[in-house]
Amino acid sequence: MEKKYIIPKFKHMLHGGDYNPDQWQAYPEVLEEDMRLFKLANCNEMSLGIFAWAALEPEEGKFDFSFMDKAMDDIYKAGGRVILATPSAARPQWLAEKYPEVLRCNERFERMSFGRRHNHCYTSPAYREKTAIINTKLAERYKDHPALIAWHISNELSGECYCPLCCQAFRDWLKEKYGTLDNLNHSWWSTFWAHTYTDWNQILPPSPMGETSVHALRIDWRRFVSHQTADFMESEIATVKAITPDIPVTTNMIPGFYNAVDYRRLNKNVDFASQDMYPQWKGRDPDDANVAMYAALQYDTARCFKHKPFLLMESAPGLVNWFQYNKLMRPGVLEQASLQAVAHGADSAQYFQFRKSRGSAEKFHGAVVDHVGDETPRLFREVQQVGKRLAALDEIVGTMADAKIALVHDWSNKWAIDEAQGFQKGDKRVIPTLESFYKPLWKRGIDTDVIGFEDDFSPYSVIIAPMLYTVSEELGEKLKNYVKNGGTLLCTYMTAMVDENDLCHLGGFPGAGLKEVFGIWNEEIDTLYPEDTVPVTADGKTYTAVDYCEVIHARGAEVLATYDGEFYKGMPAATVNSYGSGKAYYLAFRDKGDFTDMMVERLLAEKNIASAFDGALPQGVTAHSRTDGDTTYLFLENFTASEQTLSTALCWTDVESGEKLCGTITLAPHKTVIIKK
């Protein structure tokens, strides 16, 4: 396994983050002090210019790069490098005033006025033209600057616009997709409620003012928004790549499986992925282990967008300012959270932000440098400590997890489930279900990939695809071949009910050829009231079904568990079917966790998948690894506030101290020990 260097010009762990010298132009002494503090904080990177358009182009066509020139030079002199942003995430006042088409329309088709950020129309030719101009100027000016190592395209691209330009672009996108109105009408099942379209111009985006009921339209709108967001970003990428073809580009993603943009689509044309992360640490055990687990799931997803290391582009050195309760980050947690990202494939720990703003919305958001303005705060020292640890990890840069098990998460699939009217109204819990399968893997320290439909399935011995509701004939075929060729597939209730256009599969669920693969037929699905439970029996043990119980029939599959209540008592609740040289498991119910845990353990044992750490992991402690094919780097992470002792039959080397660790390894509270073999 070759190392994959995402920033070829700088093969070190990055440590730094967003820096906004444009806010401090009237305070030269602060800018001076920032460079001293930058070095003192053991930082080596700054992300510049993210919201600096008004400073860079104060009037249309009039540019002022003086602050940026100075910042680039100063950071380089201080030993740092720069990830330079294109400033499109917040536009200057003059731009909105002169070209109102750049302002978004809301879902009631009303034009918004100037304000906030992340709110430009992705279709507007004027916005694309103006971003191309400023991006070109930046690229031309800094193309040979030794500090420049990567481009940060815009910031957290998000949201949607309902302006006439976007409505037309939606129609054009649909024309491209469906070719004819007949095809569109069939795919959208528009004969329902007399919705048949007879002219492309009749199509409008879903809106509370009009269409809310055509599910396929609503899902296509989400796909279009993802496409248009990516297309806008790609137009920006083209401007900088034209001048700096060798400088890699990335864009940072909102944490929490941001729903409105398909991040797999967004990441297609960047050089590497970047994830922002703001875990809501509770400051107490055992909750923080769950918080950590959810962050880990997101990191494993981010790593698999490009199957390369990624950057942790933003995280809070301390508090954020937007949780309901902004509890202080407990001592040691920053170091632990930063190294957690690295354990899962990040080649950086970057913060929002270096210096705290003096005014406006984020004046109380955590920063490396607080309003006191010096190195005395506790969190400054914690940042120093993160920098110190990252500086010792050069040999890990470019290495990757070598996962044998993958979970599947697809944005369109989630949208289709969310849309479905039926089952449980409201949240059908797609992400928590994904988490429920991740948890048994996380606590056993199993390296896991999170992949999409287009990924290559062949590297994985086991694929778990919970709530895989949307399955096209093509995906059905791909899954079938995966199992036929020896793969182990686990799916759950709601599998393969609709195709990629949200049309129900005919001929019985699971559709797309999967009835045969699973050896079952799913006749009905019982949605339970929150207070309902149904007992399930497997191997003499009783488990508890909640929320969903499918009434399935084994048609060739072996029954692993049966319902022990309700009118479907005695019917299969979980099955396994041998198909070709592989196996297909089906879990017909949602369980409270222990059945899932037992099943995951069974799959790991069957396929000989183990943690890279040989010893037992206490509750709240986990292990994740990265490798270059020869050396395995193992991160032992203690997400509890107490000391933990682990046993190992092997001898490891501490990556940072070079010390040999044999027999037992002690982890202080919140500590991560990085070892290799």
Residues that bind ligand GAL (CB under 6 A): 155-156, 276, 278, 314, 320, 352, 362, 365
Strands of 195-343, DSSP E: 249-250, 252-253, 274-276, 311-314
Q: Look at the block and give the residue holding tokens 């070209």.
A: 99
Query: Residue 473 and residue 512: Cα distance in Å, rounded?
Result: 5
Q: Write down the catalytic residue from 101, 160, 314, 500.
A: 314
Report yes or no: 248 and 166 within 8 Å, Cβ to Cβ.
Answer: no
Query: Residue 370 and residue 391: Cα distance in Å, rounded?
Result: 23
Closest contact distance (angstroms) between CB of 622 and ligand GAL is 26
566 is catalytic: no
Closest contact distance (angstroms) between CB of 54 and ligand GAL is 15
Closest contact distance (angstroms) between CB of 48 and ligand GAL is 13
Sheet with 274-276: strands ordered across: 252-253, 274-276, 311-314
Closest contact distance (angstroms) between CB of 263 and ligand GAL is 14
Nearest to 80 by CA among 145, 11, 147: 147
Question: At 483, phi and psi to the nearest 5?
Answer: -70, -45
Closest contact distance (angstroms) between CB of 251 and ligand GAL is 11
**13 CB-near residues (< 8 Å, 6+ apart):** 342, 347, 348, 349, 390, 391, 393, 394, 396, 397
Strands of 246-321, DSSP E: 249-250, 252-253, 274-276, 311-314
Tokens of 154: 């815009």
Residue number, 50 or 417, with CB nearest to ligand GAL: 50
Beta bridge partners of 587: 492, 574
Query: Residue 174 and residue 318: Cα distance in Å, rounded?
Result: 45
> Which ranges of 149-214 does DSSP label H, i.e. alpha helix?
164-178, 181-187
Amino acid residing at 193 = W
Residue number, 276 or 597, with CB nearest to ligand GAL: 276
Report yes or no: 492 and 480 within 8 Å, Cβ to Cβ.
Answer: no
Tokens of 108: 């009631």
Query: Residue 667 and residue 669: Cα distance in Å, rounded?
Result: 6
Question: At 439, phi and psi to the nearest 5?
Answer: -55, -50
Closest contact distance (angstroms) between CB of 256 and ligand GAL is 10
156 is catalytic: yes
Cβ–Cβ contacts within 10 Å for residue 76, how many?
15
Closest contact distance (angstroms) between CB of 364 and ligand GAL is 11
Tokens of 125: 């030719």
Q: Write down the catalytic residue from 45, 57, 101, 156.
A: 156
Estimate to the nearest angstrom the gap between the alpha carbon of 385 and the chain centroid: 27
For the annotated catalytic residues, the residue numbers are 156, 314
